[in-house]
Amino acid sequence: MITRYPTRKIYVGNVAVGGDAPISVQSMTYSRTSDIAATVEQINRLHFAGCDIVRVAVPEEADALALKAIKEQISLPLVADIHFNYKLALIAAEVVDCIRFNPGNIGEKARIKEIVKACQERHIPIRIGVNAGSLEKEFEQRYGQTAQGMVASAEYNIKFLEDLGFTDIKVSLKASDVQRTVEAYRLLRPKNDYPFHLGVTEAGTIFHATIKSAIGLGALLLDGIGDTMRVSITGELEEEIKVGRAILKDSGAAKEGVNIISCPTCGRIEADLVSAVAVIEERTKHIKKPLDISVMGCVVNAIGEAKHADVAIAYGKGAGLVMVKGEVVARLSEDELVDRFVTEVEKMAREED
């Protein structure tokens, strides 16, 4: 059982972040927002994949001016990612649901005040997005690109906003390696109650990004740290959502969908378990209700696993058992097992708790 660190709740559009809100999964588009059609198409793909909040980079004025038209065509909360040019933040703040910027990147205090005032007027939050690779000079010189430097930057930026009376804040502390990322979040967590956006940044292609994010975000989630998250992958948009949701589910931080317990197979196997599990995974991926389902290659461990599973299969030679809540409900030939198993899973998914 994970006990989440108590954080204050903020709202990014209609999605609550922090407090008792479910941990949300975010992603980012890769088009210029001035290409409105491409950006809307990517946001819709992310929405369909299960994304909760979407962020877009806003590097130039044409990109900022396009945000209004994008916002009108989507229903996901929209975050504008701004660096250096405060005027872009002012344009974006008129339409988006959150601004991500670092006060240290913007420069003159008067400009930062203008952004904060714009966010205050529209009641939209600001994400202080600290990145180890772009620390303010003073912190990099003092601490290097370390977790301590990231925390010092975050504390400086938080205080900057607090001194302006602004507390509608969430914070991220991203590095491209797991250890610095985890250390930074752990160092900062006891010092305030702002919601944290988790992420290991620039994590690489899908294989390594999945492993880095599962280790880093998984460790933090098990500590009870994290209110929203992004898995950074050099790859297709949908993969970030798929991996993010899987990390939440498999860490126990979220109860959603089926948890497949399947054996790795060994010399005792007398059925095509690998194909069967692939079919079952595909046919049950739409299920939202949290269910434990077990697919085991022989009776050695199958009965024990079936006792804890909602629905289970124990394969034998050319045949097997389907079990529901540990009770055998059918003895069938191998080619009938998967259909009956999926039927039982879908039936249980429809049942009221």
Binding site for ligand SF4 (CB under 6 A): 263-266, 268-269, 296-298, 300-302
Q: In a 10 Å sphere around its CB, with 0-12 CB exposed, 13-18 middle and 19+ buried, how is residue 2 labelled?
A: middle
Cβ at position 216, least distance to ligand SF4 in Å: 30
Cβ at position 26, least distance to ligand SF4 in Å: 38
Decide whether 260 or 269 has the Cβ nearer to ligand SF4.
269
Cβ at position 67, least distance to ligand SF4 in Å: 53
User: What type of residue is 212?
Assistant: K
User: What type of residue is 117?
Assistant: K
Strand 311-315, strand 291-296: pairing: parallel
Cβ at position 284, least distance to ligand SF4 in Å: 20
Cβ at position 313, least distance to ligand SF4 in Å: 11
Report how far Cα 85 is from the mean position of its chain's Cα atoms. 28
Q: By the 8 A CB rule, do 77 and 13 touch?
A: yes
Decide whether 300 or 329 has the Cβ nearer to ligand SF4.
300
Cβ at position 308, least distance to ligand SF4 in Å: 14
Decide whether 74 or 299 has the Cβ nearer to ligand SF4.
299
Alpha carbon dihedral 62, 44, 42, 247, in 10-degree steps, equals 120
**Taken in order 99, 101, 103, 108, is the CA torsion positive or negative?**
negative
Which of these, 20, 15, 26, 39, lies nearest to 245 by C-alpha position?
Answer: 26
Decide whether 160 or 315 has the Cβ nearer to ligand SF4.
315
Decide whether 6 or 304 has the Cβ nearer to ligand SF4.
304
Left if phi > 0, otherwise alpha if psi is -120 to 50, otherwise beta: which for 93?
Answer: alpha
Decide whether 70 or 302 has the Cβ nearer to ligand SF4.
302
Report helix, strand or coil for 19.
coil
Cβ at position 297, least distance to ligand SF4 in Å: 3
Decide whether 116 or 322 has the Cβ nearer to ligand SF4.
322
Residues 6+ apart with CB under 8 A from 67: 33, 56, 58, 78, 80, 91, 92, 95, 96
Q: Which residue is nearest to ligand SF4 (CB)?
A: 297
